[in-house]
Chain A
């Protein structure tokens, strides 16, 4: 079964600095997808970034980028130039294998990111 591990319950960073959130996962699949979602205090889940495992290039979305290391099963999220609006819970997620079609997600326990002004 696929599992997702986030080992940092909480991280703190100064505004405008860079922070990296870690995520490791376990799977026997060779082709898959990985996601980072953020959940601000409003509790609305928002997609941050998506990575396709067969792509060598790390996904990037503006200030957000990932360091995807397939062999190590590691999928860390780097946030550059941190802003106050980045304060949220960040969840790493992996699609559950239902055998076909769309899959629900299994999430890590999350990392609470605090931005210090």
Chain B
């Protein structure tokens, strides 16, 4: 099956610093990737859709200036949490559909990144 990786797997940072999380599709090209956030003992919430060659689309309530998304290539999307604060501590997961993206296509998920802001 399709493989999606994330780096780092966990990161601890000080309040006020920025953190970059990478999402890579290893064996397919992904024109679209998705970023989710999962708080402890809760479900996944879609944050944004990352589009190669164009701006990301953010879900309602997600701050664009705080969560910067760059889809640099057909295999890489990055999420930068700017000026991180303790309330940004969470588990961030990316996903990608391997066939270019159509409604209902199966998505494959990365292993997630645990962010802890002190």
Contacts and interface: CB of A to CB of B under 8 A. Distances in A.
Nearest to A4: B43
Say what secondary structure dominates the interface of chain A: loop
A44 to B, nearest CB: 5
Contacts, number: 69
Contacts of A105: 34, 44, 46, 95, 107
Interface residues of A, number: 27
A45 interface: yes
Interface string B33-69: 0101010001111100100000001010000000000
B58 to A, nearest CB: 11
Given A44-B112, A45-B109, A102-B97, A95 B43 contact: no
Contact of B44 (A33, A46, A50, A91): A91
Q: Of A43, A95, A109, which is in contact with the most chain B CB atoms at under 10 Å from its CB?
A: A43
B106 A50 contact: yes
On chain B, which size bracket covers the interface? Answer: 20 to 34
B103 A109 contact: no
A66 to B, nearest CB: 15
B32 to A, nearest CB: 4
A47 B101 CA distance: 17
Interface of A: 32-33, 35, 37, 42-47, 50, 52, 91, 95-96, 98, 100-110
Q: Which 4 A-B pairs have the closest CB atoms?
A: A102-B101, A33-B104, A45-B109, A104-B46
13 contacts: A33-B104, A43-B93, A44-B109, A44-B111, A47-B107, A95-B103, A95-B104, A101-B32, A104-B36, A104-B46, A104-B49, A105-B46, A109-B43
